[in-house]
Amino acid sequence: MHVRSDEVIRNTEVMDEPTKWHAETLAIVAGRAPQPGGPFNVPPTFASTYRDGGAIGYGRWGNPTWSAFEEALGELEGGHCVSFASGLAAVSAMLTSLPLATTVVYPSNGYNGTRGLLERLVKEGRLHTRAVDVVDTSEVLGALDGADVLWLESPTNPLLGVADLPTILRAARDAGVIAVVDNTFATPMLQQPLALGATAVVHSATKYIGGHSDLLMGAVVVSDAGLRDELVEWRTMHGAIPGVMEAYLALRGLRTLPVRFARQQRTAAELAERLDDHRHVVRVRYPGLVTDPGFERASTQLGGFGAMLSFEVNDAHHADRVVELLRLIVGGTSLGGVESTIDRRGRWKGEELVPEGLLRLSVGLEHPADLWADLDDALNGAFAHSS
């Protein structure tokens, strides 16, 4: 038994103000339409233009459906939320608004879209960067000297490394470095980085928050109301606004995030343990395995171990064969939906640090026994003539 499979969600107390509700409750009650006689949910408001005399005026400046989503995610993260057209638009709002010649410390094996944007900004002569392995705390702390911004991801994509966020965020604050945490993988169900001293939290709501693989959306959550206003101004000027229907669906998804995530991570723990014992699997990376290098940190820092795991077979050819032979689990590059998806990350440009036989699995809501049968069959089939 390598997994503490009783571990579902522990730290769901999000904040003391304005309520003492748990995350499960906040996800249900936040961002509601309060008018007597009105609908329970804030309906999608399809409007480019509003009649004079109201609060909004024009569709790029605001929308009641965005506001409902922002209120709910803001309450879950414990800050002020600004929504964007995609996760990368949210990342872009943070990175492209930095002053010229800012130095950004960032994860060498983090999300490749963020790394690609940083590389571009460096090439344009706008930023300086320093890549670090965020799992190596002394390397991160060493890189803070003279830096302006620290960009973090934990657990990392796709190696599932766990950074010592409490130590790193405290050090960043002491050094006067702005810390941004991409919380897409952990979600507010596992950690709330603002409470640990992060300046901003970034989300791809496309993933777990939307949760149904049917929309793209992003968000930045900050503690400081002035910074929130600056982000709204950036969004208005750059036009990186979410669609109305997307915001409506994302909030609908967020309402079930706690229950989806709890079930998905329980299944992930079970699959990680079984994969770890499989004869064709070379290595499993899941912070919930007691043998995983991230286990100790994850146990103390996170409210659970998440629903992403990666496992390695001997080479790219066999990994591709596994994906071909799967009948239930879908080959595809995104994650966080109700359906389990698998991706050999090494096939993508910019993922040269990832072992070529590594398969990243986003665990969905199917029955764990069906998922295991699918994985076991595909693994055995892929190696049938070569072992």
- Residues of the shown chain interacting with ligand PLP in the complex, contacts defined by CB under 6 A: 86-88, 91, 111, 113, 153, 157, 182, 184-185, 204, 206-207, 216, 218
Q: Verify cis geometry, omega within 30 degrees of 0, for the bond prior to 258.
A: no
Residue 235: CB minimum distance to ligand PLP, A: 14
Q: Which is nearer to ligand PLP, 206 or 341 (CB)?
A: 206
Residue 294: CB minimum distance to ligand PLP, A: 16
Return d(Cα 99, Cα 184) in angstroms, integer: 25
Residues taking part in catalysis = 60, 111, 182, 207
Contact 152, 163 (CB under 8 A): yes
Residue 145: CB minimum distance to ligand PLP, A: 27
Q: Which is nearer to ligand PLP, 63 or 206 (CB)?
A: 206
Structure tokens at 236: 């208005």
Return d(Cα 236, Cα 306) in angstroms, integer: 34
What contacts 208, CB < 8 A, 6 or more positions away?
184, 187, 257, 260, 261, 307, 336
Burial of 315 (0-12, 13-18, 19+ CB in 10 A): middle
Q: Which is nearer to ligand PLP, 186 or 271 (CB)?
A: 186
Count of CB atoms situated within 10 Å of the CB of 136: 15
Residue 210: CB minimum distance to ligand PLP, A: 9
Q: Which is nearer to ligand PLP, 207 or 321 (CB)?
A: 207
Residue type, 203: H
